[in-house]
Structures are given as structure tokens and as C-alpha cells.
């Protein structure tokens, strides 16, 4: 019998990276995340996977449709699932406590894989350009040091470290590249590392999103980075929204929405659409008058010249607003396209 491979997710966020590994057949031991709201999402998603394995998705559907509240829903979930969501900030103070929780969850088993990516704001080009100190000295720059502590303690066979492409150029106060320092540290922990810049659009996602994916392997072997088969979707991004009811800015509801008739096949083929699971949280972000001006300029530029809007072509009074919108998206990670593709709702 083939052993089921397990993993630990650090800086887990809402669980997008973890979701991919779960769908690939890996079993999560624990998720460590400091944001309370993200931990609720993680727990709900882990509850979904447990219920699916038990062939009991009716309870999940009852929760989505409002027949039971969140507390009643969580009461039906085993304690080991709830305990696997560790809502703590990783720091010198909390590290031993987090280790103890993970040790308890692991029991007599060993850890096969660690995944995760520390918060990206400190490395991102946008984050650095908007900070008066260029993010120098920001503690988030050094969270990879804690990542190494987990490698030293659990000694997994592999680890996967994800972050924004701004990491390639980010430097510390002494002018040293963070990426180089990371690789040196991981080397000292007994891991060779290799990385590539991968674009989600090359692998079926309807969004151009480049990320550094660094893979570490225990030992001295090199040349282990997997050769990934590319798969570009043959539909446009609006395919994601074709079964959703039309709403205006600021409209929508957290409750179940009535889906529109969908005549295509891609949403089913990709596994995103599931007619048995209700869709909730169909909400459009509200906009103000400045937002509307920016969107109008972008729309007119595309309709008249087939050109995309660049920040430096905006009037000064509007460019700062556009940058702030980008920061909002990065920090909250709430692009609806990604939510639907990650969580397949």
C-alpha cells in the first residue's frame, strides 16, 4: 500500500496553495496562519474535504444555504480537524507552542513536505514603492528565517516556497538579495534549492499571475526541479462569470445566489463548476467617483485603441488611487477569479 504523503502549510493565508496539494493527493497535517478570518476559511475548507471523504456533503450544503449557522456546522467536525488550524503568528515567542501543536498532530508519523510563502508585501515592487523606507527593516522580510526553523525541526524530504517576483530584486539594508540569503540559509539546513518564475496562465488559470516557486530537496542532489506540462485554457476570463447573475458595484450577498443558465463546457471540464454545491459570496466591490473615472479611462482606451491602461498615463490625481487598489487586492487576496479557481465553488 502506497503511503499517503502529508504536508504542513506555513503562512497559509486562505489556503490556496494548500488546496492545490490536497487536490494532488497530499494530506494536510496543519495550517499555521495569523489572520483569524483566514483561519475560518481554512477550517471551513478542511471541513468540506472531511465531509467529502465521508460522503456527507449534505451538512456542508446545509451550512451554505443557511439552514445551520457556523457554530452548529463546526460542532459536527472532529476535533483533530479543528485543532489542525493553528491561528498564531509565527515568532520567537510562539514558535515552541506551534511546534508542540504540530508534534501532537503528527503523532508517530513523519512530515513529508512543508509548503508556504511568507507575506509578499515586503518583497513586492508595489509594496516597496509605496513605503517611505522601501520596506527596509520590515519584519516580514525575515520571516523566511522561521521557515528554516521548521525545516530543521521536521526535516521533510522536500519543501515548496512561494512568493512574488519582486523577491528577485529585493535587498536588505546591506544590499544583499533576500533570495540569495534564503538559499544560503536553506543550504545550511541541509537543502539544495532551485526556483523558477511560473505564470499561472501557462497552467490553465484564466489569469496572468507570475510567482517564484522555489523547491527545496533534502540532501546535495541538484537538477530535481519538476518539468511541468503547460496547459493554456482556450477560453477568455469572462468564462468564469458566465453562470453568475449580473450585479452592479456594491451589490450582491453572502448568501446563496441563483445561478444563470450556462451553455458552455469549460467550467465543468476544469472542475470549477459543481451544480450540487451552492455558490455564495457573489458580491461586487463598491466603487467611488475616483474609481469610476479610472475605469472609464481604461474602458475608453481599450475600446478606441485596443490598448491597456498603464499607471503613468493616468493623471497624477488618479494614479495614486490606482496603486492603492492594487495594494488592496494583493493584501486581501480576494480576486474573485482566484477564489473560484482555488476553491472550486
No. of helices (H) and no. of strands (E), the chain? 13, 9
Which grid coordinates belong to 62?
446545509
User: Any idea of the CA torsion for 318, 320, 323, 325, to the nearest 10 degrees?
Assistant: -70
Pick from 122, 49, 139: nearest CA to 85: 49
Active-site pick, 71, 120, 130, 322: 120
DSSP three-state, residue 90: coil
DSSP-assigned states of every residue in 230-280: PB--SS-GGGGGTTSPP--TT-EESS---PPP---SHHHHTT---TTSPP-
In DSSP terms, 8 is beta-bridged to 30, 114
**Which residue pairs from 247-254 have beta carbons closer than 8 angstroms and sit at least 24 positions apart in sequence?**
247/282, 247/283, 247/284, 248/284, 249/284, 249/285, 249/286, 249/287, 250/284, 250/285, 250/286, 250/287, 251/283, 251/284, 252/281, 252/282, 252/283, 252/284, 253/282, 253/283, 254/280, 254/281, 254/283
8 A C-beta contact, residue 141 and residue 181: no
| 71 is annotated as an active-site residue | no
Which grid coordinates belong to 100?
508542540
Show which residues are catalytic.
120
Amino acid at each position: 500500500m502506497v503511503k499517503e504523503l502529508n504536508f504542513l502549510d506555513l503562512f497559509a493565508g486562505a489556503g490556496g496553495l494548500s488546496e492545490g496539494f490536497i487536490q494532488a493527493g497530499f494530506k494536510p497535517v496543519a495550517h499555521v496562519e495569523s489572520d483569524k478570518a483566514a483561519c475560518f476559511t481554512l477550517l471551513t475548507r478542511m471541513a468540506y474535504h472531511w465531509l467529502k471523504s465521508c460522503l456527507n456533503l449534505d451538512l456542508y450544503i446545509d451550512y451554505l444555504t443557511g439552514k445551520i449557522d457556523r457554530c452548529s456546522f463546526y460542532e459536527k467536525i472532529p476535533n483533530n480537524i479543528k485543532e489542525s488550524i493553528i491561528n498564531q503568528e509565527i515568532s520567537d515567542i510562539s514558535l515552541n507552542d506551534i511546534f508542540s501543536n504540530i508534534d501532537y498532530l503528527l503523532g508517530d508519523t513523519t512530515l513529508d513536505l512543508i509548503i508556504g510563502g511568507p507575506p509578499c508585501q515586503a518583497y513586492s515592487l508595489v509594496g516597496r514603492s509605496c513605503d517611505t523606507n522601501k520596506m527596509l527593516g520590515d519584519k516580514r522580510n525575515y520571516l523566511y528565517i522561521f521557515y528554516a526553523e521548521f525545516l530543521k525541526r521536521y526535516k521533510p524530504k522536500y519543501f515548496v516556497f512561494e512568493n512574488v517576483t519582486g523577491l528577485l530584486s529585493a535587498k536588505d539594508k546591506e544590499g544583499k538579495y533576500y533570495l540569495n540569503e534564503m538559499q544560503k540559509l536553506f543550504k545550511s539546513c541541509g537543502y539544495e534549492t532551485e526556483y523558477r518564475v511560473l505564470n499561472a496562465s501557462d497552467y490553465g488559470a484564466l489569469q496572468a499571475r507570475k510567482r517564484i516557486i522555489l523547491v527545496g530537496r533534502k540532501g546535495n542532489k541538484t537538477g530535481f526541479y519538476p518539468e511541468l506540462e503547460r496547459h493554456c485554457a482556450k477560453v477568455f476570463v469572462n468564462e468564469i462569470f458566465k453562470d453568475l447573475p449580473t450585479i452592479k458595484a456594491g451589490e450582491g450577498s453572502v448568501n446563496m445566489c441563483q445561478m444563470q443558465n450556462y451553455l458552455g463546457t469549460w467550467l465543468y471540464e476544469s472542475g470549477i463548476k459543481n451544480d450540487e454545491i451552492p455558490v455564495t459570496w457573489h458580491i461586487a466591490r463598491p466603487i467611488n467617483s475616483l474609481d469610476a473615472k479610472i475605469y472609464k479611462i481604461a474602458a475608453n482606451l481599450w475600446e478606441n485603441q485596443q490598448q491597456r491602461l498603464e499607471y503613468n498615463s493616468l493623471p497624477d490625481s488618479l494614479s495614486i488611487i490606482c496603486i492603492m487598489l492594487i495594494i488592496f487586492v494583493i493584501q486581501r487576496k480576494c480576486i474573485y477569479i482566484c477564489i473560484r479557481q482555488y476553491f472550486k465553488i
